[in-house]
Amino acid sequence: MQLTRHIQQGSLLYFNHEDDAISVSENEHYIWLAFGDVIQSVMLKRKPYQLTLPHQSAMLLPLLFFKPKEIVELGLGGGNLSRFLRHLNTEITIQSIECNKTVITCFDRYFNPENIPIQIHCDRSENWLTQQQKQITTDKTLDWLICDIYQTQLTDFNQTMTQLENLIAVLSANSCLSINLPDSSDEEVNLCLTVLQQLLPDHQVIYFHIPNYLNIVIQIIPAHWQLFRLLKRNSHSHLSSHLFLKWRKFWQMGIVLKKGTNKLD
């Protein structure tokens, strides 16, 4: 999506040229958040909870296998994932870690029309992760960590190791981790997959190419989950039968990273 094309079809609601050129625009049906000329989030006005970009469905595929109670989202954006999750089940607790105050302001003003309750922490993700490591106990573990702010241009192995170690340190054997890699090179993605294999021997690593988009979504799932059995029916899922069947087909497009391999197909 190009911001200029959408502005021709709609109107500009907000623009901050001093802060990553953040803008909010709308037309009759949609409202969207952009950083510069890159559309970051799109909300359908008549159904704010509906997912609008294909990588968002890929990010939420672990919903096929379990009913999470506590989810942490690194990167708020326009709140698409949070709105969907709260509509799916109002008992899900969502924390969103967002370092940009302007993004938080835009979300509150334009992208939360139903006032869904989200615990938003204005902090850098690495700071929050470091603090969480100090608070983890055997009784308090994280169900699911969703990382939608993963930095690209990670060609340095030590830098990649540090970032992924911070993510993995807050996981338990029963935790899921979902990572969106936007517009990353094959080298960057392969490096990430290599590190994940090394640091998470007790988890399964599955990655997805998003058709017609540059995103690669990586899902890290507990190895002891019996995925084949869980995919037969949706008794362990909040998803409707229709959405369960649709996403089950999407899951089958994923590429399972075998032990000892790390190449992007």
Instruction: With a cut of 90, say whether residue 49 has pLDDT above it.
Output: yes
**Chain centre distance of CA 48:** 17
Residues 99 and 139 in one domain: yes
Please give the helix or strand (H or E) that residue 74 lies within, else none: strand 70-74
- Do 107 and 1 belong to one domain? no
Q: pLDDT by residue (tens digit) across 183-230?
A: 788 888 888 898 898 889 889 999 999 988 889 999 999 999 999 999
Q: Does some domain include residue 101?
A: yes
Give the Cα separation of 134 and 264 in Å (integer): 35
77 & 110 share domain: yes
Residues 67 and 184 in one domain: yes
Residue 66 lies in a domain: yes
Look at 87 and 198; give whichever has higher pLDDT: 87
Nearest one of 171, 153, 150 to 55, comparing CA atoms: 150
State the DSSP string of 202-256: TEEEEEEE-TTS--EEEEEEETTS-HHHHTT-STT-SS-HHHHHHHHHHHTT-EE
42 domain-assigned? yes
Regarding whether 230 and 159 lie in a shared domain, the answer is: yes
Q: Is residue 29 domain-shared with residue 76, that is, in the same domain?
A: no
Number of domains present in the structure of the chain: 2
- CATH at 154: 3.40.50.150
Would you say the C-alpha torsion 188, 190, 191, 197 has a positive or negative sign? positive
Same domain flag for 40 and 53: no
Per the domain annotation, does 221 fall within a domain? Answer: yes
Pair (158, 210) in one structural domain: yes
Domain stops at, among 46, 64, 81: 46
| Together in a domain, 13 and 132 | no
79 and 118 in contact (C-beta within 8 Å)?
Answer: yes
Name residue 191's beta-bridge partners: none
Q: Are residues 203 and 233 part of one domain?
A: yes
Beta bridge partners of 176: 144
Q: Say what the pTM is.
A: 0.90
Give DSSP secondary structure letters for 143-179: SEEEE----S----HHHHHHHHHHHHTT--TT-EEEE
Residue 263 belongs to a domain: no
By the 8 A CB rule, do 210 and 216 touch? yes
In a domain, 132, yes or no: yes
Confidence tier at 261 by pLDDT (50, 70, 90): low
Q: Is residue 69 part of a domain?
A: yes
Domain shared by 110 and 65, yes or no: yes
**Residue 152: which domain range?**
48-256
- Is the pLDDT at 150 greater than 80? The verdict is no
